[in-house]
A and B are shown apart, each in its own frame.
Chain A
Amino acid sequence: MKYAYYPGCSAHSTARDMHESCLEVAKALGIELNEIKGWTCCGASAAHQTDRELAASLASANLLLAKQMGMDMVVNCAACYSRSKAANYEIIHSEKVRESVADSLGQPYDGSVPVRHFVEIMAKDFGLAKLRKKIVNPLNGLRVASYYGCYLVRPAEVTGFDDPENPTILESLIDVMGGSNAEWSGKVDCCGGMQNLTQTEITVRRSAAVIEMALNAGAECIVVACPMCQISLDLRQADMEKLLGRKYNMPIIYVTQLLGLALGISSEKLGFDRLMVSPAEIIKTVGNGQSIEQSLYGTVATFPYHQGYKNE
Chain B
Amino acid sequence: MKITKEKTAESLLKVVQEKADVNLSACYQCRKCSIGCPVADRVESPPSEIIRRLQLGAGDELLQTGLIWTCLSCETCYARCPNKINFAAVIDALKYMAVEKGVAKPEGDAPLFNRIFLDTVKSYGRVYDLQAIATYKLKTGSMKQDMDKFPVMLKKGKMAILPPSGADKGMVKRIFKKAAQNKGTGK
Contacts and interface: CB of A to CB of B under 8 A. Distances in A.
Contacts of B171: 38, 40, 61, 105
Given A51-B179, A105-B175, A46 B114 contact: yes
Interface in A194-216: 194-195, 197-200, 202, 206
Nearest to B148: A238
A112 B78 CA distance: 23
Interface residues of B, number: 66
A192 B72 contact: yes
A206 B40 CA distance: 13
B38 interface: yes
B70 A100 contact: no
Interface stretch (B2-10, B46-54, B56-64, B157-165): B157-165
B133 A197 contact: yes
Nearest to A100: B182
A41 interface: yes
A278 to B, nearest CB: 12
B126 to A, nearest CB: 5
A2 interface: no
Contact of B126 (A40, A52, A106, A190): A40
A50 B118 contact: yes
A220 interface: no
B105 interface: no
B70 A202 contact: yes
B79 A54 contact: no
B75 A155 contact: yes
A276 interface: yes
Interface in B82-117: 84, 86, 89, 92, 95-96, 99, 106-110, 113-115, 117
B164 A164 contact: no
A189 interface: yes
Contact of A41 (B75, B84, B157, B167): B167
B145 A200 contact: yes
B178 interface: yes
Interface residues of A, number: 58
Nearest to A231: B158
B76 interface: yes
A154 B130 CA distance: 29
Nearest to B21: A94
A49 B92 contact: yes
Interface in A49-70: 49-54, 57-58, 61
A41 B76 CA distance: 25
Interface stretch (A10-18, A121-129, A260-268, A295-303): A10-18
A156 B81 CA distance: 12
Most buried by A among B39, B125, B179: B179
A198 B118 contact: no
Binding site secondary structure of chain A? helix
Contact of A58 (B73, B84, B115, B175): B175
A155 B79 contact: yes
A154 B108 contact: no
A291 interface: no
A121 to B, nearest CB: 23
B113 A46 contact: yes
B126 A150 contact: no
Contact of A12 (B108, B118, B164): B164
A283 interface: no
A54 B73 contact: no
A39 interface: yes
Contact of B114 (A49, A190, A202): A49
B35 interface: no
A98 B176 CA distance: 16
Given A195-B108, A197-B113, A198-B109, 14 more contacts: A16-B158, A40-B172, A48-B73, A52-B19, A57-B179, A61-B172, A94-B21, A106-B174, A153-B79, A155-B78, A193-B72, A235-B149, A238-B148, A274-B156
18 contacts: A9-B127, A14-B159, A41-B167, A45-B114, A46-B117, A49-B114, A51-B179, A54-B179, A58-B172, A100-B182, A104-B179, A105-B174, A150-B75, A154-B79, A155-B86, A197-B133, A206-B38, A276-B156
Interface of A: 9-10, 12-14, 16-17, 38-41, 43-54, 57-58, 61, 94, 100, 103-106, 150, 153-157, 164, 189-190, 192-195, 197-200, 202, 206, 231, 235, 238, 273-276
